[in-house]
Amino acid sequence: MYCVNQIRPPDIESCNTHACELIWITGEWTECSSSCGQGYRQRLVSCSEVHVENDNYEYSHQSLSNCPGTPPESYMPCNLDPCPPPQEWRVGIWGQCSVSCGDGVMERMVQCLAADGQENNRCTWENKPEARKVCKNPSCHLPSSCGEVQTLNGPLPDSEYLLNIQGKTLKVYCAEMQTDTPQEYISLMAAEGENFSEIFGYRLNDPTQCPANGSRREDCDCRRDYTTAGITTFSKVRLDISKMNIITTDWKFAFTHEGKSVPFATAGDCYSAARCPQGQFRINLSGTGFRVSDDTSWISQGNNAVADVQKSQDGSRVSGMCGGYCGKCAPSSGSSLAVTVESI
């Protein structure tokens, strides 16, 4: 009642009378969408109304169409290192079977190529297509001996002929084709330095020694008077097909360079009694289709005899150092060496 004559103060007043500001708000760019080559990055873009109250900013989201100007980019291309071109295995067509009948092999070209056709080595090797496989041509009849070749065709010249040996087609040299007793020989493909036998001719004056650590030297304190010494090389070796043995004492296609003829796969000396062998032999059947049988072994013979014989894993090559005072080594089967055909 006392305020009747007083002016009532206002109970509402305006505040924050300046216009609200609309601004674009952007987030952080994401990582590139691709690990190589061209990709993109993106970020959040929004339009917000800004309110200032006691130096504190408050934002309220608005429709994108309310904000002035062009909105900031929300996508951005990103370019990394070029991606390596894709690789894949390319194969050629299979070649002809290696034999005209029976079991053989076929081969084809296998390459790792990039998209541009260039060869490289980035393909997955676990997925490499096979480049070689067994093939079977229609069965056919091949003679199994030189005698059968002669029976089927009459007298023929001595030459290489295809024979069926243990189910495999192999080339064998047939000799004595103008006689009643043709003979089979294996033509050795390696050089003569890979198929020889030697009985070393030097003897130490003091046979209890092993000079030069056992290495071979001809300027030793020794004499060269071992009467059974010799060195023989072989270009072909006689094959007994019925027994699958090489006859080591056949020298028809052998050449003795000095001294006495030495059987195939044999070596020895009369050099030293101190386990110091100097005689050597080598066998190399590579490329013939034959190999030395797994159960073939060599024995030492004579006084103080010792043999160091090494055979390759596939049985195609054998080398030996043998000797004694006097001694040698030879195949355990005597004058024969057991062989078999190579597996495909």
| pLDDT tens track for 147-157 | 999 998 888 99
Residues 100 and 68 in one domain: no
Is residue 27 over pLDDT 80?
Answer: yes
Domain-embedded: residue 5: no
291 in Cβ contact with 322 (< 8 Å): no
137: helix, strand or coil: strand
Residues 154 and 108 in one domain: no
- The count of structural domains within the chain is 4
pLDDT band at 139 (very low <50, low <70, confident <90, very high): low
What integer is the mean pLDDT of 129-143? 80
The number of beta carbons lying within 10 Å of the beta carbon of residue 178 is 11
Domain-embedded: residue 13: no
pLDDT at 149: 93
pLDDT tens for 215-273 read: 887 778 999 999 999 999 999 999 999 999 999 999 999 999 999 999 999 999 999 99
Residues 307 and 246 in one domain: yes
| Domain coverage including residue 218 | 188-341
pLDDT at 241: 94
Is residue 79 over pLDDT 90?
Answer: no
Is residue 109 over pLDDT 80?
Answer: yes
Is residue 65 over pLDDT 70?
Answer: no
What integer is the mean pLDDT of 91-98? 85
pTM of the predicted structure, to 2 decimals: 0.62
Name the percent of the chain lying above pLDDT 70.
Answer: 88
Buried b (16+ CB within 10 A) or exposed e, 129-147: eeeeeebeeeeeebbebbb
Question: Could you give the maximum distance between any two Cα atoms of the chain, in Å?
Answer: 161
Residues 288 and 196 in one domain: yes
Domain-embedded: residue 12: no
Q: Is 172 exposed, middle or buried (0-12, 13-18, 19+ CB in 10 A)?
A: buried
Domain-embedded: residue 9: no
Is residue 291 over pLDDT 60?
Answer: yes
Residues 205 and 306 in one domain: yes
48 in Cβ contact with 59 (< 8 Å): yes
Closest CA to 216 of 139, 142, 272, 283: 272
Residues 198 and 328 in one domain: yes
Residues 213 and 293 in one domain: yes
CATH number of the structural domain spanning residue 92: 2.20.100
pLDDT at 12: 74
237: helix, strand or coil: strand
Domain-embedded: residue 268: yes
Alpha-carbon distance 171 to 147, whole Å? Answer: 15
pLDDT at 59: 54
pLDDT at 50: 67
Averaging pLDDT over each range in 31-40, 104-113, 215-224, 273-282, which range is the top one?
Answer: 273-282
The neighbouring-strand residues paired with 46 are 25
Residues 42 and 114 in one domain: no
Is residue 58 over pLDDT 80?
Answer: no
Residues 213 and 69 in one domain: no
Taking CA atoms, 253 is separated from 1, 154, 235, 236, 331, in Å, by 151, 24, 6, 5, 20
Alpha-carbon distance 299 to 218, whole Å? Answer: 26
